[in-house]
Amino acid sequence: MKISLTLNGEARELEVEPCRSLLDVLRNEAGLPGTKKGCDVGDCGACTVILDGKPVNSCLVLGVEAEGREVTTIEGIQPAPDRLHPLQEKFMQLGGAQCGFCTPGMIVMAKALLDENPSPTEEEIRFGIAGNICRCTGYTKIVEAIQAAAEEMGK
């Protein structure tokens, strides 16, 4: 099946098998392997992308369901090729990433969170990323990075 979608702000046309998840389509047909497959069944959040403004597990969306929609992946988070998003800066600076495998999904989820709630409390942040598993950081520095980014963005 042929689908047309807007991917990271760009119009794309892709040839897609119905049984393939959006995650697999992004990583293969669309050439964007930044979004990771941690479990493939919606338990870990590593595959989080923003679909029509809402964060979803791309492993639980069929590729064909993205027809006519807007998808943002980690590759589309930075505002310009030479400028990183404050979340990306703070994750780097404050130790929000170690092995980095959960990081794309985590940053995308954090962006969706801050888009909806620009100054979340720590509790709201932890609630917001409850569906993103990290096995390296213990979450402390991820929360700090999101708080710091929120503060930065609030200026």
Partner 1 sequence: MIGESVRRPDMPGKVTGRAQYAGDLSLPGMLHAKTKRSTVAHARIKRIDATKALAYPGVKAVLTHHDVPRVLHYGSPHPRSASVTKDQYILDSRVRYWGESVAVVAATSEEIAEEALDLIEVEYEELPAAFTVEQALAPGFPPIHERADNLVVDPVVVRRGDVDQGFAEADLVVEGTYAMGRPTPAYMEPNVCVCRWDDDRLTVWISTQTPFMVRGSLAEVLGLPHHKVRVLVDHMGGGFGAKQDLFQSEFLCALLAQRTRRPVRMEFTRKETFLGGRSRHPGTVWLRQGFKKDGTITAREARVTFNSGAYGSHAPGVTAVGTAALTSLYRCDNVHLEGRCVYTNTPIAGAFRGYGVVQTYYALDIQMEEAAERLGMDPAELKLRNAVREGDLSPSGHPIIGHGLEDCIRRGVEEVNWKQIRGQGRKTENQEDSDPGPIRRGWGMGCEMHGSSAYPGIKEQGNATVRMNEDGTVQLFTGTTGLGTGAHTALAQVVAEELGVRFEDVSVVHGDTDVVPWDIGAFASHTTYMGGRAAQMAAAEVKEEVLAIAAEALEASPADLEIRQGRVRIKGSDRGISVREAVSPKKGLPTKQLIASASYTPTKSYSFAAHFVEVQVDTETGQVDVLQVVPVHEIGRVIHPVAAEGQIEGGIQQGIGHTLTEDYIVDPVTGRSLNAGFVDYKMPLSMDMPPIRTIILETAPDPGGPFGAKGVGEDPIIAIGPAIANAVYDATGVRFRHYPITPEQVLEGLRQKRKG
Partner 2 sequence: MRRFEYFEPATLGEAIGLLARYQGRAQALAGGTDLLVELKEQLRSADCVVNLKKIPGIGALAFDAREGLRIGALVTAREIELSEVILRLYPSLAQAARELGSIQVRNRATIVGNVCRASPSADTLPPLIADAAQVTVNGKNGERHVPLEDFFTGPGRTVLSPGELVTELRLPAPAPRTGKVYIKHGRRKAMELATVGVAVSLSAADVRIVLGAVAPTPIRARRAEELLRGRKIDASSIERAAQAAVEESRPISNVRASAEYRREMVGVLTRRALTKALEATR
Minimum separation from the CB atom of position 11 to partner 1 (A): 20
Whether the CB-CB separation of 18 and 1 falls below 8 Å is answered with: yes
Minimum separation from the CB atom of position 45 to partner 2 (A): 6
Q: Which does 12 bind (CB under 5 to 8 A by kind): partner 2, partner 1, none?
A: none
Burial class (CB in 10 A: 0-12, 13-18, 19+), 45: buried
- Where along the sequence are the contacts to partner 2 (CB under 8 A)? 1, 17-21, 40-43, 45, 48, 51, 54-57, 59-62, 64-65, 109, 112, 127-128, 130-132
Minimum separation from the CB atom of position 124 to partner 2 (A): 11
Q: Half-sphere exposure of residue 51, counting CA atoms within 13 Å on the CB side?
A: 20
Q: Which does 29 bind (CB under 5 to 8 A by kind): partner 1, partner 2, none?
A: none
- Please state, as a whole number, how many other Cβ atoms lie within 10 Å of the Cβ of residue 123: 9
- Closest to partner 1 by CB, 31 or 68: 31
Q: Which does 107 bind (CB under 5 to 8 A by kind): partner 2, partner 1, none?
A: partner 1
List strand residue ranges (DSSP E) for the chain, in order: 2-7, 10-15, 48-51, 54-57, 70-72
- Where along the sequence are the contacts to partner 1 (CB under 8 A)? 17, 19-20, 24, 27-28, 32-41, 43-44, 46, 73-75, 77-78, 84, 87-88, 91-95, 97-104, 107, 125-127, 129-130, 132-143
Minimum separation from the CB atom of position 9 to partner 1 (A): 15
- Please state, as a whole number, how many other Cβ atoms lie within 10 Å of the Cβ of residue 67: 14
